[in-house]
Chain A
Amino acid sequence: MNLSMLKPGERGTITKIGALGPLKRRLMDMGVLVGEDVKVEKVAPLGDPIEVTIKHYNLSLRKKEAEGISVEVAK
């Protein structure tokens, strides 16, 4: 399961960040860390990117980038 598969309103916990290099560093600098809770808020009108809340703020990223972020869906 990865972040891009969550629907708006669904939550999850990050289990792994598969990205590499600058992308990974950027994600981590912005608080996207293993163990963090994320909630998908919205999908943009054209289907991409998505908006999530993490660490109580709103972050937008593309589905392609979200694919590299494994999550465990919260019940």
Chain B
Amino acid sequence: MSAESISEVMRDPVRPAAASLSEEKRTITVAVAGNPNSGKSTLINAIAGTRLHVGNWPGVTVEKKEALFEYEVKLIKLVDLPGTYSLSPYTQEEIITRDYLVHEMPDVIIDVMDATNLERNLYLTVQLLELDIPVIMALNMYDEAEKKGYTIDSNMMEEMLGVKIVPTIATRKAGLHDLLKAVVKLVDDPSSHHPKKLNYGEDIESAVSAVEKQLKDSYPSLAEKYPLRWLAFKFMEEDEHVQSELKISGDVLLIEDAVRHLKKAHEEDMESIMADARYAQAAGLTREVLKRPELRKTDLTEKIDRIALNRFLGIPLFLAAMWFMFKLTFDVSKPLGDWMNALTFGPFKRWAEALVGLIHAPAWMSSLVTDGVIAGVGSVLVFVPVIFAMMFFITFLEGSGYMARAAFVMDRAMHSIGLHGKSFIPMLLGFGCNVPAIYATRTLENQRDKALTALLIPLMSCGARLPVYVVFIGAFFPAYAGTVLWSLYVMGIALAIVMGLIFKRTLFKGEAPMFIMELPPYRLPSFKSLMIHTWEKGKHFLIKAGTYILAVSILVWFLLNLPWGVESKKDSYLGQVGQVVAPVLKPLGFGSWEAASSLMAGVIAKEIVVGTMGEIYVKKTGEEQSAVKPAFTADLIEIGTSFTTALRNSAENVFSTFGISSLSTKEDEKRSGLKSVLRTTFTPLSAYAFIVFVLLYMPCVVVAIAMRQEFGTWKWFGISFAYQMALAWLMAFVIYQGGTLLGIGG
């Protein structure tokens, strides 16, 4: 498995267009199945050049994804499936996998094995073989197995199973060429596949053949549609899913007879008997082919966990890690954000004005472009560096294996609010964006868990809220930026706990779910994959800014400038609505129509709050900014030099965050128009109340749609909307009124 042979594969990129060209060519459908976290998605990404979500924790992939590409004049469709430990489905995404394999009957299954975990992975292999679909095994994570000193006799394993086995290292793209060759060979010559029939012991075998015969006689149509042996086993195991789906109930006399006999002999229920029999096969195979070193070294994972999961240090370390993450996010991205801000409201705005002037557009058009589009989209784009920094850290957390530890450390706390440690993962993802977090609730075992988690996710402060915080913190709390930011995230978490407790006692009475989870070893994500997946996450923000926020900015501009010819923004449509709402917000310290209007616009997406404020407030200072008009080339030079300074500053800030040095002398802050205007209309206290309100008030429209999709009803969104509005108002009220009473009014 040399790297060269694999690079050949990669020179054949995915060519979706070719799909239609070669219609007459049959597409080979290859299902990629295996245990959770065995590297299925990584493998597909490496082969087909896709960018499927990967992460070092079980349950990353939650729905089936396809990748189409050409290989040796064949069209191959790889189907990424959610990981599963067994074919008796347990979570929703495991059902997806099982149903796909049984109903769609792919041409080949690539069984991706974690070579460091042979026995448990073979337990699934044994079940896949029952399906009568040709199987090829990818012995993945081969590097880690070797590092552990394992030797695996794959020739012997091939012989014992009658299945082709290819060692692979998906992260290094090793072995993939051989794997694809094996797939093509198998499809070209199906007779080359001679899987050994695994013998589960005499009594089970005789029972299963009796059942098989019975099924064949009584349900010939079923026997044609499904692999008979598999079907027989499922009946014996009394798999409810299969039984209800096939609508077989009555004529099961013979099955019962065979099963009763077995149960009596083993003094066990049928499922346990089968699990034992299958594991016996897996264990037998493992014993034959795997040699472990006599002496086990303590590996890196153990060493890290001794500290990360330490009884006393575990939780403080977790909180500190989060704090550092937010502080670094803020410090590193700030100079770059300032740079983009200067760029947008300096040169870009000037160029746009010049352009509009050039085509002699009417004044309203020029205002639409500069005050609407540039102020709206621009003030959001400024946050690209912050968002990307945040996504970078989340990607790192996901790739390192700390996510699963966070679930482990936090489970007790989560349990007390009726949740699951695993709910913690969607919640952490929620810090990036609530939308994928809502979808990630799929990894949870039952509906109750999913719904409760989804209700609390909006309290996790997503990337879109960051722009609002950044503006306000920059204007009011520059000296304590990291701490104030951290306080917001912590407040979100704390309120999630409180709300969880309330929901547990009201909406979600009943048993809390179980917690059984594999803890993967720590892994260092490669720089390249960090970049790719950070980009994949951040891209959504860019697309959103380019489409959605652009459209809304234009809409907001119109709402701010209609009825036609309004003198003051206050009398515009948005302003009028703002005036109606403002009194409600008065006790919170920001009862101005400007604040109210911005919050209303932010319902669509929270970043828009800033954009709208940009449009409402900045106008007033717009004139002074465009007083001097440097030449185009001077602009370009300035952009370049200021960018290098910004880069240098953010690099320096990395060190100062860790207290290594405080080189970065605080540069005299470039006065961004919005910040200075804000300082005249808010006090630090009301500013804090305002950002808390932004943190809490209703999830954005996209989250609403995601909730609707996941649960098939508006119910959960409705509850979420109601409680969040109430909570936002209450918290802002407490902060503002409490602060005023204590005299922190400022």
> Would you call A58 and B120 a contact (CB within 8 A)?
no
**6 A-B pairs in the complex with CB atoms less than 8 angstroms apart:** A34-B276, A44-B314, A45-B315, A48-B411, A48-B415, A60-B408
- Give per-residue flags for A33-67: 1 if the beta carbon is below 8 A from chain B beta carbons, else 0: 11000000011111111010001111111101100
Nearest-neighbour CB distance to chain A for B121, whole angstroms, equals 10
Nearest first, the 6 A-B pairs at minimum CB distance are: A46-B412, A45-B314, A29-B86, A28-B275, A58-B519, A29-B85
- CA–CA, A22 and B272, complex, Å: 11
Residue of B nearest to A35 (CB): B276
* Cβ of A6 under 8 Å from chain B: no
Residue of A nearest to B318 (CB): A45
Nearest-neighbour CB distance to chain B for A36, whole angstroms, equals 9
Q: How many residues of A contact B (CB 8 A)?
A: 32
* Cβ of A73 under 8 Å from chain B: no
Chain B hits for A17, CB < 8 A: 272
> Would you call A26 and B421 a contact (CB within 8 A)?
no
Chain B hits for A56, CB < 8 A: 116-117, 119, 292
A residues touching B (Cβ–Cβ < 8 Å)?
17, 22-31, 33-34, 42-49, 51, 55-62, 64-65
Of the 9-residue stretches B135-143, B212-220, B510-518, which lies at the interface with chain A?
B510-518
B residues touching A (Cβ–Cβ < 8 Å)?
85-86, 88, 90, 116-117, 119-120, 123, 271-272, 275-276, 279, 292, 305, 309-315, 408-409, 411-413, 415, 421, 514-519
> Would you call B409 and A26 a contact (CB within 8 A)?
no
Nearest-neighbour CB distance to chain B for A50, whole angstroms, equals 9
Known: A44-B309, A57-B120. Contact between A25 and B275, CB under 8 A?
yes
Known: A22-B90, A46-B413. Contact between A60 and B515, CB under 8 A?
yes
User: Which secondary structure characterizes the binding site on chain B?
Assistant: helix
- CA–CA, A20 and B229, complex, Å: 26
Chain B hits for A58, CB < 8 A: 518-519
Residue of B nearest to A52 (CB): B519
Known: A25-B275, A27-B516, A57-B518. Contact between A47 and B412, CB under 8 A?
yes
- CA–CA, A62 and B279, complex, Å: 24
> Would you call B119 and A55 a contact (CB within 8 A)?
yes
Known: A58-B518, A60-B517, A62-B515. Contact between A29 and B90, CB under 8 A?
yes
Residue of B nearest to A17 (CB): B272
> Would you call A25 and B408 a contact (CB within 8 A)?
no
> Would you call B90 and A62 a contact (CB within 8 A)?
no
Chain B hits for A25, CB < 8 A: 86, 88, 90, 271, 275
> Would you call B516 and A59 a contact (CB within 8 A)?
yes
Other A-B pairs beyond A29-B88, A48-B412, A56-B292, 13, CB < 8 Å: A24-B271, A28-B275, A43-B311, A45-B315, A46-B409, A49-B412, A51-B519, A59-B517, A60-B411, A60-B517, A60-B519, A62-B514, A62-B515
Nearest-neighbour CB distance to chain A for B231, whole angstroms, equals 19
> Would you call A65 and B515 a contact (CB within 8 A)?
yes
Chain B hits for A55, CB < 8 A: 117, 119-120
> Would you call A28 and B516 a contact (CB within 8 A)?
no
> Would you call B315 and A31 a contact (CB within 8 A)?
no
Known: A31-B119, A47-B412. Contact between A42 and B90, CB under 8 A?
no
> Would you call A23 and B514 a contact (CB within 8 A)?
yes
Known: A31-B279, A46-B413. Contact between A65 and B86, CB under 8 A?
no
Chain B hits for A28, CB < 8 A: 271-272, 275-276, 279
Residue of A nearest to B317 (CB): A45
Residue of A nearest to B268 (CB): A34
Known: A33-B276, A48-B411. Contact between A57 and B271, CB under 8 A?
no
Chain A hits for B310, CB < 8 A: 45
- CA–CA, A62 and B276, complex, Å: 23
Known: A33-B275, A44-B412, A60-B408. Contact between A49 and B119, CB under 8 A?
no
> Would you call B117 and A57 a contact (CB within 8 A)?
yes
- CA–CA, A44 and B318, complex, Å: 13
